[in-house]
């Protein structure tokens, strides 16, 4: 038999508002904002928010306003976060051959073409008289150095920090709850 004194806050915590990932996904899908990130990333976001803010009391007394602020942040910054995740996944999946492959440059020249291209026209001429190509191959050190400069160890922290404004800065209990598992 045990008893303990638990803190009580004047507002609910993240986990009290979203008790499960299903509650969060349902709220995301039914909030009025356009759905711009896929459901797998919405679920991942729930777990990330749970890990960072799970027991944090929300800053708003109005839970609906809290939710709309949360969905608004997802709508504003979620697509960029999702694209950055995608790009990092693709960069990490590159093979050594793809990393070493450089640019290819093609130079064409046509003497007296039958058509008259304008200087601002990007369409190619119908025929050519000469063609020169250059194929570049990167050395391993340069190729890996370039890849390393593009890889990011964390593309999520900046996005998660956007949610800081939704939670109390100084979460101190306003009340205490006495909890006992004894039967009276």
Indicate whether 77 belongs to any domain: yes
Q: Which residues contact 31 (CB under 8 A, 6 or more apart)?
A: 67, 68, 71
Dig out the tokens for 36 from the structure: 């711009």
Indicate whether 145 belongs to any domain: yes
Indicate whether 184 belongs to any domain: no
Question: 74-110, pLDDT tens digit by residue?
Answer: 999 999 999 999 999 999 999 999 999 988 888 877 7
Q: What is the DSSP letter of 93?
A: T
Question: Whole domain around residue 33: which residue ranges?
Answer: 3-172
Question: In the structure, what pLDDT confidence band is assigned to residue 70 with cuts at 50, 70 and 90?
Answer: very high
Task: Tell me the whole-structure pTM to 2 decimals.
Answer: 0.76
- Looking at residue 105, its pLDDT comes to 86
- Looking at residue 7, its pLDDT comes to 63
Higher model confidence: residue 130 or residue 7? Answer: 130
Question: In the structure, what pLDDT confidence band is assigned to residue 39 with cuts at 50, 70 and 90?
Answer: very high
Indicate whether 180 belongs to any domain: no
DSSP 3-state of 54: coil
Indicate whether 103 belongs to any domain: yes
* Segment 111-120 long-range contacts (CB within 8 Å, at least 24 positions apart): none
How many domains does the chain contain in total?
A: 1
Strands 175-180 and 101-109: unpaired
Question: In the structure, what pLDDT confidence band is assigned to residue 37 with cuts at 50, 70 and 90?
Answer: very high
Indicate whether 183 belongs to any domain: no
Indicate whether 101 belongs to any domain: yes
């Amino acid at each position: 038999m045990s008893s303990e004194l638990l803190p009580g806050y004047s507002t609910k915590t993240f986990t009290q508002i979203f008790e499960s990932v299903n509650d969060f996904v349902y709220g995301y899908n039914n909030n009025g904002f356009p759905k711009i990130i896929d459901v797998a990333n919405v679920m991942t976001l729930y777990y990330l928010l749970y890990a960072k803010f799970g027991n944090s009391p929300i800053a708003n007394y109005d839970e609906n306003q809290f939710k709309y602020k949360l969905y608004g942040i997802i709508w504003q910054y979620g697509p960029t976060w999702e694209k950055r995740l995608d790009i990092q996944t693709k960069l990490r999946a590159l093979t050594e051959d793809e990393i070493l492959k450089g640019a290819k440059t093609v130079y064409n020249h046509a003497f007296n073409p039958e058509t008259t291209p304008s200087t601002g026209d990007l369409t190619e001429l119908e025929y050519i008289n000469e063609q020169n190509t250059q194929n570049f191959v990167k050395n391993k050190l340069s190729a890996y150095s370039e890849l390393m400069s593009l890889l990011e160890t964390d593309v999520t922290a900046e996005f998660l920090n956007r949610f800081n404004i939704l939670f109390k800065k100084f979460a101190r209990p306003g009340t205490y709850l006495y909890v006992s598992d004894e039967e009276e």
